[in-house]
Structure 1
């Protein structure tokens, strides 16, 4: 298998790498947010160099929440990736969200004869924001740091699991990557790794990254704003805006008003009910909302109770009343268009009497159905999330379950989202908003359904085997194998109660041109935004 760039490299690199800026331990906290793993946090100095040659205006973006970190190896988290990915930092290869095809980024071509050993040719003439040259050493260190180290990067569990990768620097522009076993989608996995300089610590996470992207980080005023400026030494096309500023507001109506009043150019995470009017631009995103149940404590130790949760939720009513019929009832964790989506599956029917009956049966057999269930929900994660959580709480209560709603900010919520989970909470039900921007079910089932998945609360040996078989398959066999995985989840495991496949909406001022796509909510590429003519 191979892919060659039609554009080729963009210049030649010097033979001597310049000294990079040092990485110092961060002293400022992010508005009270917590470290995402047990590692300490390191902070890079602001990158050198200024913005030149672009439009004089500053692009103003308002987000739902402040990023918990800008650490590149955490950029698969939506709140981090929307700022980092392909704006401040860049991967070796990048998936085109419209076509699904992999395209060159910091690598210009890649090939493999056996799907195990992959060779990447790297782009020449690329520099980091500190002025140092990008080489294969940096790409190798990025993989070692994010995948093979004990740093505890979220992307490791999300994309790579427990297996390490073999990394060999052949020369300054050639890198070999070896998978533990044949992996036909390894280049797609690597598209989740944002490249950092080789001097970046692999024992401490960075709060403010040095990247190779079209914009460099200028300042992060915790709790207030993040500012970036166009990098004068960028290897690609210079972006249209000389600078950009990110702010955050939790209320969708407030974000919408900032656009309609001229205070912001782009507002993320909106709905028509936010009074955005004609400035609202809908788009098909790849997000699925579901409830992930932990089966280590009663009442979720009994599959009948987990089935009851599925019957108790009126998904059609939620989609209709809360989201104006724009979303679709979900029967699985990935939407149509993702490899492995099982079109034959249907959402669980709304049957409150069946839900009550199943809870009663479990109770009669000694299951403590009165045990408190903590419904863990992240504040401002998507429009009307609190209203949705309240509806679900009420419907589960009507089924005979004892549900306590707990709304949390991002940093606290992450303790329930990824391993190691909080284990002193009693029964846990976690609201998930999962986006599969890679377009392959492997990136969903490995983390959410494998017994040891980073965001899996349980699994079975039988389901693990089905997932492993699907991961090794290609073409039509891969599609069919993942369809079996989703069927088994619904029939034999029931870790999830799926709610809906979402549609997205941004607010866009008339002064800017931008066409959102399925990845916009995860990675808002500022270089794709231009002033309206």
Structure 2
């Protein structure tokens, strides 16, 4: 064998050995890569942070808002804004944080934030109505914002996920919004998942994770199974009936945390039967709240007397209500209905309800079925329709009577958000079509009031009036349920506001 051939063979073996080493190193590096997969209950077809009602961009750490909610004490605190001030509640000076960059490396300054807020106002009716901005001026890192009316609680509205700040010069908002958060979008498959990579230039220190996946599945049982099989590391709202099995899995922790959410029966006040307060009282009386909490939620909820959990200062002490089949029958009799041949009717017209529900919150269809069964005992025909996107459907269609719906009521520790959104004629979530001059006047008074004590008094008065008129029925306040692999995941915090999930502090054990 020639020396030349031996040399060639030696070089070839060295190359193979180095390639094998390289391959092995890559494999180990891949194994050790810090990554988590969070499985969420709402799918989204868009990451546009200014209009997406699933708030995925904020929850996944892609975007941030000017103001942050402290989940512990329910106070607002600086985030992208370092301070704000107003002498009259109408003209606001906002100082932006220095040294913040977007995920494309561009500096976040006053002009960029102005453009982002103006884009949000233009594209989102909800944000336009919530912020009530008349004008914005930018000078370096200072914003001067004038609202249409004195609005003392304006800064708290800047917590809303749809006010997220993005670089509007990067226009693929649906697939790849460019925010200031710790994670940038790597890829997005609508309805399936968004894959994320660490943004090393993040102003508050690079994320401990190198990458993450924020995936979606509306099936609560499938989410639970994904955690058990190892396909997911963190699961938002696992199936309640699976909790005991999950608790038995080594290394799994379950958080059950009180939140600011209410499950309600939204009533379409444009439908003739529901324009009678006695019919609305009958609907309310048919809801067996205690049984629903105990059987469907397995105790992971609080019975609701109104929209706000009892821990809030603006949750009134409501008068005791009549409930049950006989109470509902009495209310219907007062509304002119009689039961004939097993059918509840008035002037020969049977009482029927079209009830909407959606499966991404697994308990809502079950609540709808319980209501359907109980209403049937009074001869009321309830037809249940499963929908995918409740906000879009209720806004675009008025052919329904009732909807089992879930909403955050005081995510900023204040009643203003829910009352404005749900009961003001211009409210983005006013799906019931409430347009009551007295109610609107009270909400306008709340909006102009400074100081939590004074605001709580007015909010309590509004809540009592809503209760008297039975503008929607309030069923329960569900706990936020999160199951996660605590033997792998470090620094996970279950947010009471449900806004903050993938953060720069989230980590995994090696």
The alignment partner of 1:276 has SS state of: helix
**Partners of 1:117 and 1:176 within 8 A in 2:** yes
Bigger Cα Rg: 2
Matched with 1:405 is 384
- Residues 142-161 of structure 1 aligned to structure 2 (within 5 Å): 142-147=116-121, 149=122, 151-157=123-129, 159-160=130-131
CA distance in 2, matches of 1:230, 1:290: 38
Q: CA, structure 1 residues 459+402, in 2 after alignment: closer, same or farther (shift >3 Å)?
A: farther
Alignment of 1:125-164 (within 5 A): 125-147=99-121, 149=122, 151-157=123-129, 159-160=130-131, 163-164=132-133
Residue equivalent to 1:24: none
Q: Which residue of 1 aligns with 2:504?
A: 527
Q: Give how far 1:371 is off.
A: 4.7
Runs of 5+ consecutive residues of structure 2 not aligned to the other structure: 1-28, 339-345
Deviation (angstroms), 1:195: 0.4
Change (3 A) 1:409 1:355: same
Q: How does 1:1-80 map to 2 (within 5 A)?
A: 56-75=33-52, 77=53, 79=54
Q: Note if contact 1:61-1:266 (Cα within 8 Å) is conserved in structure 2.
A: yes
1:69 is paired with a residue whose SS is coil
Counterpart CA distance in 2 for 1:165 and 1:341 is: 32
State the partner residue of 1:316.
290
Alpha carbons 2:76, 2:412 under 8 Å: kept: no
Shift of 1:515: 4.5
SS at match of 1:73: coil
Map of 1:27 onto structure 2: none
Residue pair 2:37, 2:233 contacting (<8 A) in 1 also: yes
TM-superposed CA distance for 1:88, in Å, is 0.3
Of 367, 370, 384, the residue aligned with 1:391 is: 370
Distance in 2, Cα, partners of 1:400 & 1:498: 23
Distance 1:119 1:488 in 2: 36
- How far the C-alpha of 1:362 sits from its partner, in A, is 2.2
Q: Among residues 451, 461, 471, which one is paired with 1:495 in the alignment?
A: 471
1:176 aligns with 2:144: yes
Structure-to-structure mapping, 1:338-417, within 5 angstroms:
338=312, 340-342=314-316, 344-345=317-318, 348-364=321-337, 370-380=350-360, 382-410=361-389, 413-417=390-394
C-alpha contact 2:262 2:406 (8 A) present in aligned 1:
yes
- How many Å separate the matches in 1 of 2:500 and 2:335? 44
Alignment RMSD (CA, Å): 2.4
Partner residue of 1:481?
Answer: 458
Q: Which residue of 1 aligns with 2:158?
A: 190
Match of 1:49 in 2: none
Structure with the higher helix share, 1 or 2:
2
> 2:495–2:501: 8 Å Cα contact kept in structure 1?
no
Shift of the alpha carbon at 1:487? 0.3
- Deviations 1:375-432 (CA, angstroms, capped at 9, x unpaired): 111222x23322222112212232343211111112xx23234x4x413x1x421222
Q: Using a 3 Å threshold, how does the CA distance of structure 1 residues 331 and 512 change in structure 2: closer, same or farther?
A: same
Q: Is the 8 A contact 2:266 2:405 kept in 1?
A: yes
TM-score (norm 1): 0.81
Q: Compute the displacement of 1:520 (Å).
A: 5.7
TM-score relative to the length of structure 2: 0.84
Secondary structure (helix, strand or coil) at the match of 2:33 reads: strand
Picking from 436, 445, 463, the partner of 2:439 is 463
CA distance in 2, matches of 1:376, 1:368: 25
- Partners of 1:516 and 1:346 lie apart in 2 by 37
Kindly indicate whether the alpha-carbon contact (under 8 Å) linking 2:233 and 2:489 is maintained by their aligned counterparts in 1: yes
1:225 matches 2:201: no
Quote the residue 2:220 is aligned against.
252
Q: Which residue of 2 aligns with 1:429?
A: 402
Q: What SS does structure 2 have at the residue aligned with 1:527?
A: coil
1:13 maps to which residue?
A: none
Query: Take 2:230 and 2:497, find their aligned partners in 1: how far apart are those partners?
Result: 21
Aligned residues: 460
Residue 339 of structure 1, CA deviation: 5.5
In structure 1, the gaps of 5 or more residues are 1-51
- Cα deviation for residue 485 of structure 1 reads 0.1
Tell me, yes or no, if structure 1 residue 167 matches structure 2 residue 144: no
Q: In structure 2, what is the Cα distance between the partners aligned to 1:156 and 1:345?
A: 33
3-state SS of paired residue (2:401): strand
For the 8 Å contact 1:298–1:367, the answer to whether it is kept is no
Aligned with 1:526: secondary structure? coil
Counterpart selection for 1:241 from 209, 212, 233 = 209
State the SS of the aligned residue for 1:463: helix
How far did residue 326 of structure 1 move? Answer: 2.5
Report deviation, 1:199. Answer: 2.7
